[in-house]
Amino acid sequence: MTKWEYQVAPIPLHNEALMLNNFGQDGWELVAIHTNAQGGLVAFLKRPGQG
């Protein structure tokens, strides 16, 4: 069974693609993206755990 590690990260509105591509290069998969109460974006990411 795969064990996952998770990350929740704010995404700057002027660099969305760059930030998400950087996470992808580090092995993170985008699970969901939501708008927070202040109008900013928050990304929810996962990747297989390291052990």
Predicted pLDDT of residue 8: 98
Predicted pLDDT of residue 27: 97
- pTM above threshold 0.85: yes
The per-residue pLDDT for range 1-51, each reduced to its tens digit, is 989 999 999 999 898 999 999 999 999 999 999 999 999 999 999 999 986
Burial class (CB within 10 angstroms; exposed 0-12, middle 13-18, buried 19+) of 45: buried
- For 51, the token pair is 């052990």
Sheet with 29-35, side-by-side order of all strands: 4-11, 41-48, 29-35
Terminal C-alpha separation, the chain: 12
Predicted pLDDT of residue 23: 97
Predicted pLDDT of residue 51: 65
Predicted pLDDT of residue 50: 81
